[in-house]
Amino acid sequence: MKMKRGLLLFVLPLILLQVPACIPYELQEISPLEIARQEAAINDFLNKNPTAEILTEYYTEIETKSISNSISSLCNKTIDAKEIYKINIINEPTKEAMTAWIDWRNQELECFVSGIK
């Protein structure tokens, strides 16, 4: 009995280590903020302003259709209708702000803009 328990205690962790490899990529999503932080300018801003307020908004493809022109104007490139996250990062004391647009389907930064709120 002790041998079986010892074997189980040895084998079970090895099995559990294999479970994440079995999860499809689509289910291993990272957060929109983590995607935005991959941009050096956004990461630097957050590191310099650790108390900055972070607001995240999700837009469906249908909702994005109605605002795609204004997003395109801000980003200086054409933004098609798609699932998108908007992340506003605001440092209240200085009024500095950044806005990032995340293409959720491709899980990549579409564009970001910075300025004064």
The CATH number of residue 103's host domain is 3.10.450
* Any domain includes 16: no
Per-residue pLDDT of the chain (117 residues; tens, 9 = 90+): 555 555 545 554 555 555 544 444 455 578 999 999 999 999 999 999 999 999 999 999 999 999 999 999 999 999 999 999 999 999 999 999 999 999 999 999 999 999 887
Q: Considering its fold, how many domains does the chain have in total?
A: 1
Classify residue 15: in a domain, yes or no.
no
In a domain? residue 42 = yes
Distance CA(84)–CA(71), nearest Å, equals 11
CA 80, CA 30: separation in Å to the nearest integer? 22
Domain that holds residue 38: 31-116
- In whole angstroms, what is the distance from residue 87 CA to residue 111 CA? 11
Q: Which residues of 60-95 are buried (b: 16+ CB within 10 A; e: fewer)?
A: eeeebeeebeebeeeeeeebebbbbbbbebbbeeee
10 occurs within a structural domain = no
